[in-house]
Amino acid sequence: HLSGGHYNPAVTIAMILDKRTTPADGVAYSIAQIIGAIGAAAVILVTISQDAVSAGISAPGPGVTEIGALILETVFTAIFLVVILTVSKRSPGMAAIAIPLTLVAIHFAIATTSGSSVNPARSIGSAVIGGDLSSLWIYLIGPTIGGIIGYGIYKVTGADDEEASA
C-alpha cells in the first residue's frame, strides 16, 4: 500500500474524510509532512541563507489584508482539493498531469496576493526556520478549511460517484 504521495496536510485531511486514508495514517502523514517541511527549510538555511528561508515565508502581499489572504487560501485550496479528489478517483492516469498543472495555475493566480501556500506544512517549515510566525495562522486555517470545503464540494457534486467515471 502506497501513501498516495500527498505532502500536504490539507490533502491528507480530505483523504481521511473520503476514507482513502485512515485517521491514524493521516496523523502520521501530517506529522511527517511538517517534519519534512521544517527539514527542507533548514537545508535551505544551511546551504543558501537566512534570506532564502525568509523569502519562502508565507505572507499576504502588499495591500492584501490578512482576511483577504485567508479567503484566497481557503477558496484556492478548495479548488485544488476538488481537482485532486476528482482526478485521482476518476482518471488516476491523468493525476500526474492535472494536479501539478492545477497547482501551478493556483500559484500564478494568487502568489502575489496571498502568498499561495495552499499547504500548511510548507508554511510551517518556512515560518519556524525563518523565525516569523506572525501570519502563520492564515496558512494553517485557510488551507485546512479549504480542504474540508473542497471535499464537501466533491461529495455534493457527485464527483465521487463510481458510476459517473465508468
Alpha-carbon span 118 to 24, nearest angstrom = 23
Backbone angles phi, psi at 5, to 5 degrees: 70, 25
Fold of domain 9-159 = Glycerol uptake facilitator protein (1.20.1080)
30 within 8 A of 12, measured Cβ to Cβ = yes
- pLDDT value at residue 6: 80
**Count of Cβ atoms closer than 10 Å to residue 71 Cβ:** 16
**Count of Cβ atoms closer than 10 Å to residue 162 Cβ:** 8
Instruction: Tell me which amino acid residue 166 is.
Output: A
- Domain residue extents for the chain: 9-159
pLDDT in tens, the chain (166 residues): 455 678 999 999 999 999 999 999 999 999 999 999 999 999 999 999 999 999 999 999 999 999 999 999 999 999 999 999 999 999 989 999 999 999 999 999 999 999 999 999 999 999 999 999 999 999 999 999 999 999 999 999 987 776 555 4
Global pTM reads 0.92
| Residue with the three cell numbers 473520503 | 18
142 within 8 A of 119, measured Cβ to Cβ = no
17 within 8 A of 150, measured Cβ to Cβ = no
7 within 8 A of 36, measured Cβ to Cβ = yes
Instruction: Tell me which amino acid residue 161 is.
Output: D
- pLDDT value at residue 166: 47
Alpha-carbon span 47 to 25, nearest angstrom = 32
Q: Please choose, from the candidates 132, 6, 7, the residue with its C-alpha nearest in 3D space to the C-alpha of residue 58.
A: 132
Alpha-carbon span 22 to 17, nearest angstrom = 9
